Amino acid sequence: MDQGAQIDEILESLKWNGRYQIIYSIVPFLSYISIAISSMSVVFIGKMVEHHCKKPHSLNITVGPGTYYVISNASDSNFNVTYGACSVDVMQGTDVIYSTRCPDGYEYGEPRDSSFVSEWDLVCDKESLSDVSMSVNYISEMIWALVFTRLSDIYGRKKLFMLTNSLYFVNSMILCVLPNFVAFLVFKFLQTGASMFASVIMVEMMPTKHRALPIQIIAYLWPASLLLLCLLAYLTRELSWRYLQLSLGLVSAYVLVQWWVTDESLRWLCVKNKKTEAEQLVKKMARLNKVSPEKALHILRTDIFSRDIRLELSQDSRMLERNETNNTTEDVMMLSDDTAITNRGKSTPSQSDNNVKFLSIVRNKHLMKILVISCSLWFTDCLAYDGLLMVSPSFAQNFYVGFALSVMVEYPASVTFNLIVDRVGRRQCIVVSHLIAGFCLVVSTLLFVPAVQSYVPESSWVSLGFVLLGRYALSVGYTCVTLFTPELLPTSIRSTGSGFTSVAAYVAVMIAPHARTLKRHIPWAPSIIFGSICIILSPLTFLLPETKGHELSQTLEDMEKWLNDVKSKNKPKQ
């Protein structure tokens, strides 16, 4: 029995759905609420407000030999002055004889502080800057994903989870009082979230056959969080955007007590050979769940910690080294279980499977195959999911109704996910749902073609139906991807692997906000783009093994053995 199965047996013996799991799942779930509302907050705090050029105090134009002082429409009967969204146009008859950008700024259809877009005049040639604010936030998230997930594999989930949630809370409060857009961008960059740690913590808390449960709960929690965002935005619609930002930041105030209601991952403690901490955690789980810890402690002492875990992980490290075709100047020579030395002469801690070098991971063909396809799936889902939500207010005449409709389809999507994920498996769920989503999004756009509209009555309503159906199918597939990709990776590098997929996700969500600007200028483009990538990239999933019912791999050696077994099973018999 491998270590993953042994830990599953420990979790089952300690009552996997007891009081401990309920209490210690609260913070990871709350962090998902914070991340959800933060991811779409710009839709409301940075909404585009109807505007036009402010009437200038004076406007001088030169036409032919004469100079005219055009102040209002009545200033000269030969001229007509129109105040457009981005320009002041002077017309003589039907000809525009003079045009200039708004010389005295803009007037807005809502109070100036209803959005940071109107407060800081991010319109016309600056209209994409509101989208940039979200892109900057995701650039920082991508950097933190690379740095913090790596550190969490080394120093543990709990410390890094606490750090990232604290950074998020503090910066959310600061964003409420910033005086200009440059400062806003700076603190958006410093803001970070911890959804990557939340998913890892919850997956590692569950035994194999119940591993989908946290993701199933999140599938309901995520749309509820977005509806909460929409509700808060609606309730504060008459107030400054700063009050909405304040209310969104206060949602993450749980960080004030987080340290006392989170524990380190038992799987991580076992991989890191932290026997004392693992035994203390097992006793704590048993005490809260009111069960005996004896069986769990016996497995820990006789099966998991009876051999030196570091030796096992060193074997994985050497196995990765055998996959390297060239030695780099930083190759590590193992001197003992506890020390190593580089050819630069610097003494370092032993490089176990958790601390394996980046190049060694890249050169492992099985890991790279998993990571490349996983990154493709995350890129597809994050771009399409976030992009569609960004433009969702345009789905209906009412700004808030359009967003709410787009979110509400995720509830039937969650029901569908729960019904099929453990029946048909992860791969089929991902591929079929993405193909349906891609088809619906493409069809929704084709319904606006004049030649098609003549054959389809009420084509706008039919198009809305296809968009919502596409959102529904995409949500099913996206939820399955969040479960599938962590299951593919061994515990020792699961958080690092999540960092890779997070990078792909953040690249996508950096692009996604610009769908708002794109839709204002080319209305059909977003749906065509999102639908096409769903159709093209999702079939790559069939190149990966099915994870339904498989225990989480603990080490790279476990993963290699599993993949070889799958390959042998699928090999046609002679």
Tell me the pLDDT tens digit for each residue of 460-483.
778 888 889 999 999 899 888 888
**377 shares a domain with 296:** no
**76 shares a domain with 207:** no
Q: What does the pLDDT look like over 359-404, one tens digit per residue?
A: 667 777 878 888 889 899 999 999 998 888 888 877 777 788 888 9
CA distance 425 to 433: 12
- Going by pLDDT thresholds of 50, 70 and 90, the confidence category of residue 334 is very low
Q: Taking the CB of residue 214, how many other CB atoms lie within 10 A of it?
A: 25
pLDDT on residue 67: 56
Q: At what angle do helices 459-488 and 195-205 cross, to 10 degrees?
A: 60
pLDDT on residue 73: 45
CA distance 429 to 479: 10
Percent of the chain residues past pLDDT 70, beyond the cut: 82
**Closest CA relative to residue 45, chosen from 242, 250, 251, 190:** 242
Is the dihedral angle over the CA atoms 70, 72, 76, 78 positive or is it negative? positive
- Going by pLDDT thresholds of 50, 70 and 90, the confidence category of residue 450 is low
**388 shares a domain with 534:** yes
Percent of the chain residues past pLDDT 90, beyond the cut: 10
Residue scoring higher pLDDT (496 or 113): 113
CA distance 284 to 141: 34
List Cβ neighbours of 44 (8 Å cut-off, separation of 6 or more).
Answer: 115, 229, 230, 233, 241, 244
Q: Taking the CB of residue 322, how many other CB atoms lie within 10 A of it?
A: 8
**192 shares a domain with 135:** yes
Q: What does the pLDDT look like over 20-29, one tens digit per residue?
A: 888 888 888 8
- Going by pLDDT thresholds of 50, 70 and 90, the confidence category of residue 234 is very high
Q: Taking the CB of residue 109, how many other CB atoms lie within 10 A of it?
A: 10
Structure tokens at 75: 């200033």
- Residue 326, pLDDT > 80, answer no
What average pLDDT does the segment 306-314 reach? 50
In a domain, residue 14? The reply is yes
In a domain, residue 333? The reply is no
Is the dihedral angle over the CA atoms 201, 204, 210, 212 positive or is it negative? positive
Per mean pLDDT, which range of 41-50, 118-127, 141-150, 504-513 is the poorest?
Answer: 141-150
240: DSSP letter:
-
Structure tokens at 115: 């959005």
**92 shares a domain with 137:** no
**Closest CA relative to residue 173, chosen from 190, 198, 161:** 190
**Closest CA relative to residue 282, chosen from 261, 4, 273, 295:** 295
In a domain, residue 495? The reply is yes
pLDDT on residue 87: 85
Q: Which of 415-442 are b and which e, b meaning 16 or more Cβ less than 10 Å from the residue's Cβ?
A: ebbbebbbeebbbbbbbbbbbbbbbbbb
- Residue 265, pLDDT > 80, answer yes
Range of the domain at 76: 51-108
Q: What does the pLDDT look like over 275-297, one tens digit per residue?
A: 888 888 889 989 998 888 888 88
- Going by pLDDT thresholds of 50, 70 and 90, the confidence category of residue 195 is low
Number of compact structural domains in the chain: 3
- Going by pLDDT thresholds of 50, 70 and 90, the confidence category of residue 70 is low
What three-state secondary structure class fits 349? strand
CATH number, domain of 483, equals 1.20.1250.20
Q: List, as one string, the DSSP characters of 8-60.
A: HHHHHHT-TTSHHHHHHTHHHHHHHHHHHHHHTTHHHHT----EEEPPPS--E
Residue 252: C-alpha distances to residues 34, 164, 224, 246 (Å): 6, 11, 16, 11
**283 shares a domain with 245:** yes
CA distance 251 to 243: 13
Locus of tokens 């109107």? 118
Average pLDDT over the chain reads 79
pLDDT on residue 43: 87
In a domain, residue 354? The reply is no
**70 shares a domain with 156:** no
Structure tokens at 36: 């959800």
**65 shares a domain with 3:** no
Cβ(480)–Cβ(443) below 8 Å? no
**72 shares a domain with 31:** no
List Cβ neighbours of 179 (8 Å cut-off, separation of 6 or more).
Answer: none
In a domain, residue 16? The reply is yes
**92 shares a domain with 24:** no
The reported pTM is 0.72
pLDDT on residue 227: 92
**505 shares a domain with 452:** yes
In a domain, residue 323? The reply is no
Q: Which residues pair with 96 in a beta bridge?
A: 91
In a domain, residue 324? The reply is no
Q: Which residues pair with 83 in a beta bridge?
A: 88
Classify burial at 495, counting beta carbons within 10 Å of its beta carbon; exposed 0-12, middle 13-18, buried 19 or more: buried
**286 shares a domain with 368:** no
In a domain, residue 262? The reply is yes
CA distance 317 to 305: 19
- Residue 267, pLDDT > 90, answer no
Q: How far apart are the first and last CA of the chain?
A: 30
List Cβ neighbours of 177 (8 Å cut-off, separation of 6 or more).
Answer: 242
